[in-house]
Amino acid sequence: MNEKTRPNDYIIDLKHISKSFEDTQVLDDISMYIRRNEFLTLLGPSGCGKTTLLRIIGGFESATEGEVLFEGKNIGDLPPYKRKINTVFQKYALFPHMNVEDNISFGLQIKKMDKKLIQKKVYEMLELVNLKGYEKRSIDSLSGGQQQRIAIARALVNEPQVLLLDEPLGALDLKLRKGMQLELKKIQQKVGITFIYVTHDQEEALTMSDTIAIMNEGRVQQIGTPVDIYNEPKNAFVADFIGESNILQGIMLKDYLVRFHDVDFECVDRGFGENMPIDVVVRPEDIKIVDKDQGMLNGLVESVTFKGVHYEMIVKSTSYSWIVHSTVMSPIGSQVGMVITPPDIHIMKRR
Ligand SMILES: Nc1ncnc2c1ncn2[C@@H]1O[C@H](COP(=O)(O)OP(=O)(O)OP(=O)(O)O)[C@@H](O)[C@H]1O
């Protein structure tokens, strides 16, 4: 999905959202569509404005400029509880003095829903989050991961059309987090609603999302599927943030010829004019190691680290240390050649 093209099945339309706190602008003209049933992740470094954008969608903060449309209607004036949107925070915000059942059903009890119906819904939710039989347990007796599932159940029992999740797995240890990532994705697919998920962890975003919006300094840098963003980063920031990259500065010689690192490389024509300064991104797995003098570049292997499926090598050529991922190991101190084919030379406008 592109920020400019409107999908038929969109549920939220963010129109030119900007936000300032006093003199500091933290969001700068954000426009995008969010589709029904999609798992969308806002990904970016700390302080780039992810949480602020999520809070504006949820109604906890208002935009300085711009509109949030939900099913085509401006919901800017609606308080959070009147939106068909619920939020799961990193700190689960469960009531410690209530048991699991009362925590999940709290919102429904306030709405004075029929007791039998409440009980049915609570059981359905516990089944959904894989905690059947836990209804009478106290919150204190649950692990971090279990508490997070209860927080999700409590948000979903209100049957929102959109669930906002702000770094919900941030407090869990790595192994548990990985398990919960898959679990969350399954839950989203089962309930079939939109999840908008905030994280600064690129691997988490790649694992779970249908769509990723990469943010930096209050702006959306790129929106796309994980595969698109990884394979076709729009600028050097995105390339650097998603996965490991070799990033160099270059200059266009012709529409299909770029010079970087004092070498002329053929590349795919992206419509950049002659003499245009550009950034060049080459992924470590796209560099093929060959014998010395058999490639476009020669280099000295400076380090080798075994990473399980590949070796990560640092190969120093005249003025740049390349990160190379290869299934074949070249010993430290050896001279090697390197080949990079035109489709693997990603050229983009200089930041
Ligand atoms: N209520 C507020 N008053 C003043 N400044 C704020 C307020 N809320 C957020 N900010 C500032 O806005 C910027 C963006 O914050 P935000 O929490 O949205 O970033 P984030 O991308 O979610 O970061 P993190 O990943 O660290 O949570 C930060 O510089 C933050 O200090």
Q: What CATH number should be reported for the domain holding residue 324?
A: 2.40.50.140
The reply to whether 201 and 66 lie within a common domain is yes
Which of the four pLDDT bands, split at 50, 70 and 90, describes residue 161? very high
Q: Report the nearest-CA residue for atom 29 of ligand 1.
A: 47
pLDDT recorded at residue 297? 93
Q: Where a domain ends, among 212, 237, 262? A: 237
**Domain-embedded: residue 147:** yes
57-71, 87-101, 149-163: which range is least confident on average?
87-101
The contacts of residue 178 (CB under 8 Å, 6+ apart) are none
Ligand 1 atom at minimal distance to the Cα of residue 54: 18
Residue 311 has phi, psi (to 5 degrees) of -100, 135
- With a cut of 70, say whether residue 2 has pLDDT above it: no
The reply to whether 228 and 318 lie within a common domain is no
The reply to whether 160 and 308 lie within a common domain is no
Question: Which among 30, 42, 48, 62 is the best mutation to test ligand 1's pocket, defined by most ligand atoms within 8 Å of the CB?
Answer: 48
The reply to whether 168 and 133 lie within a common domain is yes
Q: Where does residue 167 fall: left (phi above 0), alpha (psi -120 to 50 degrees), or beta otherwise?
A: left
- The rounded Å distance from CA 119 to ligand 1 centre is 39
Q: Report the nearest-CA residue for atom 6 of ligand 1.
A: 21
Amino acid at 119: Q
- With a cut of 70, say whether residue 33 has pLDDT above it: yes
DSSP classification of residue 111: T
Q: Helix or strand or coil: residue 341?
A: coil
What is the rounded average pLDDT for all residues in the chain? 92
Q: Report the nearest-CA residue for atom 18 of ligand 1.
A: 49
The reply to whether 125 and 175 lie within a common domain is yes
The reply to whether 101 and 204 lie within a common domain is yes
Tokens of 28: 């700068």
The reply to whether 102 and 134 lie within a common domain is yes
The whole-number average pLDDT for the span 123-147 is 92
Residue closest to 191 by CA, chosen among 234, 159, 214: 159
E strand intervals along the chain: 10-21, 24-35, 39-43, 65-70, 73-74, 85-88, 162-166, 194-199, 211-216, 219-224, 246-254, 257-260, 263-266, 277-282, 288-290, 297-306, 311-317, 320-326, 335-339, 346-349
The reply to whether 228 and 104 lie within a common domain is yes
Which of the four pLDDT bands, split at 50, 70 and 90, describes residue 342? very high
pLDDT recorded at residue 1? 44
Separation between Cα atoms, residue 192 and residue 154, nearest integer Å: 17
**Domain-embedded: residue 4:** no
The reply to whether 54 and 97 lie within a common domain is yes
- The rounded Å distance from CA 42 to ligand 1 centre is 14
- With a cut of 70, say whether residue 350 has pLDDT above it: yes
- The rounded Å distance from CA 58 to ligand 1 centre is 15
Residue with tokens 């306030």: 110
**Domain-embedded: residue 206:** yes
The residues that bridge with 319 in the sheet, in sequence order, are none
Q: Helix or strand or coil: residue 268?
A: coil
| Percent over 70 (pLDDT), the chain | 98
Residues 25, 218: contact at Cβ < 8 Å? yes
Around ligand 1, the residues with Cβ closer than 6 Å are 21, 26, 44, 46-52, 200
pLDDT recorded at residue 251? 95
Question: Which among 51, 89, 166, 216 is the best mutation to test ligand 1's pocket, defined by most ligand atoms within 8 Å of the CB?
Answer: 51
Question: What does the pLDDT look like over 181-219, one tens digit per residue?
Answer: 998 999 999 999 999 999 999 999 999 999 999 999 999
ipTM over 0.90: yes
- With a cut of 80, say whether residue 351 has pLDDT above it: no
The reply to whether 210 and 314 lie within a common domain is no
The reply to whether 123 and 67 lie within a common domain is yes
- With a cut of 70, say whether residue 100 has pLDDT above it: yes
Roughly how many angstroms between the first and final C-alpha of the chain, as a whole number? 23
**How many structural domains are present in the chain?**
2
pLDDT recorded at residue 4? 56
Long-range contacts of 14-18 (CB under 8 A, 24+ apart): 14/53, 14/57, 14/66, 14/67, 14/68, 14/69, 15/66, 15/67, 15/68, 15/69, 16/65, 16/66, 16/67, 17/53, 17/56, 17/63, 17/65, 17/66, 17/67, 17/68, 18/63, 18/64, 18/65, 18/66
Which of the four pLDDT bands, split at 50, 70 and 90, describes residue 110? confident
- The rounded Å distance from CA 27 to ligand 1 centre is 10
Give the domain range for residue 272.
244-349
Q: Where a domain ends, among 237, 265, 300? A: 237
Q: H-helix or E-strand containing 102?
A: helix 100-110
pTM, two decimals, is 0.88
CATH number at residue 75: 3.40.50.300
The contacts of residue 349 (CB under 8 Å, 6+ apart) are 235, 272, 278, 279
Question: What does the pLDDT look like over 240-256, one tens digit per residue?
Answer: 899 889 999 999 999 89
DSSP string for 121-132: HHHHHHHHTT-T
Rounded to an integer, what is the distance from CA 265 to the centroid of its chain?
Answer: 32
**Domain-embedded: residue 1:** no
**Domain-embedded: residue 343:** yes
Q: Where a domain ends, among 184, 215, 237? A: 237
**Domain-embedded: residue 2:** no
The reply to whether 131 and 34 lie within a common domain is yes
pLDDT recorded at residue 261? 86
Residue 101 has phi, psi (to 5 degrees) of -60, -45
